[in-house]
């Protein structure tokens, strides 16, 4: 197996991006959004209210 093929299989479930505005270096996967939703729906997150969770791969600059 070539190094390109092994490298591609290592990242097959993630889309890497070379964009200086994407601070995480990859695109968020639907499963990651689902994990946040599952957490917010759980009893553990019962006291979390009135919060906006931005999932934008770091594109929006925070204060």
Given this model, what pLDDT does residue 20 score?
Answer: 62
Q: What is the pLDDT of residues 13-61, one digit of tens each?
A: 566 666 666 777 778 889 989 999 999 999 999 999 888 888 887 777 6
Q: Is pTM beyond 0.75 here?
A: no
Structure tokens at 23: 């601070």
DSSP label of 1: -
Q: Rounded to a whole number, what is the largest CA-CA distance in the chain? A: 50
Report the SS3 class of residue 12.
Answer: coil
């Amino acid at each position: 197996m070539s190094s390109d093929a092994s490298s591609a299989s290592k990242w097959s479930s993630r889309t890497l991006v070379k964009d200086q505005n994407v601070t995480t270096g990859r695109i968020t996967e639907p499963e990651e959004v689902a994990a946040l939703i599952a957490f917010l729906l759980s009893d553990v997150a019962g006291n979390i209210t009135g919060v906006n969770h931005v999932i934008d791969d770091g594109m929006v600059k925070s204060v």
